[in-house]
A = this chain, B = another copy of it.
């Protein structure tokens, strides 16, 4: 069953490695992400139900990592019956489909900016503005592969999470100091 059959323009594959924290057209981020999710669900024959769609929309309200119980609070006006399992089930689905990533070190979630295809990524997590930037970092992934070969380790999944200051916040801290 289809809940959303409006025809979005073909999803433009967002270029990773352009900084989300810089000024950008965030409405475009969101509509791309939602359109892509709908498209992918159609292709896979899985259901992007209203709850799942709304949770994805809520996650995409910003590039900040968002917590499950925050999502729960924010979906309640739309889904009066929402309880923790409501959110966790939606998160599980969105995560399986690759539309979001879990940030292990924050117990939180972010929208994925390249969910049209499986991919490896690392996360740059700003302690100041809480925005998370996803990067494919092919050289890092290559070095990792070599490391796994050395260790004879068979990889199933990776969580590469870097905490610090994004370029914007680093710049404004520098400005503050020079004042």
Binding site for B on A (CB under 8 A): 17, 19, 104-105, 122, 124, 127, 133, 135, 137, 139-140, 142-144, 146-148, 150-167, 170
Nearest-neighbour CB distance to chain B for A42, whole angstroms, equals: 31
Residues of B within 8 A of A143 (CB): 137, 139-140, 142-143
Judging by beta carbons under 8 Å apart, are B140 and A144 in contact? yes
Alpha-carbon gap, A18 to B151, bound state (A): 9
Residues of B within 8 A of A142 (CB): 143
Judging by beta carbons under 8 Å apart, are B147 and A140 in contact? yes
Q: Per a CB cutoff under 8 Å, which of B105, B127, B155, B167 touches A104?
A: B105
Alpha-carbon gap, A166 to B170, bound state (A): 39
Judging by beta carbons under 8 Å apart, are B158 and A162 in contact? yes
Judging by beta carbons under 8 Å apart, are A155 and B164 in contact? yes
Judging by beta carbons under 8 Å apart, are A19 and B151 in contact? yes
Judging by beta carbons under 8 Å apart, are B151 and A133 in contact? yes
Alpha-carbon gap, A60 to B164, bound state (A): 30
A/B interface sample: 28 pairs, CB < 8 A: A17-B150, A17-B151, A104-B104, A104-B161, A133-B153, A135-B147, A135-B151, A137-B144, A139-B146, A140-B143, A148-B164, A151-B166, A151-B167, A152-B166, A153-B162, A153-B164, A153-B166, A154-B165, A155-B163, A156-B163, A156-B164, A157-B163, A158-B160, A158-B161, A158-B162, A159-B161, A160-B160, A160-B161
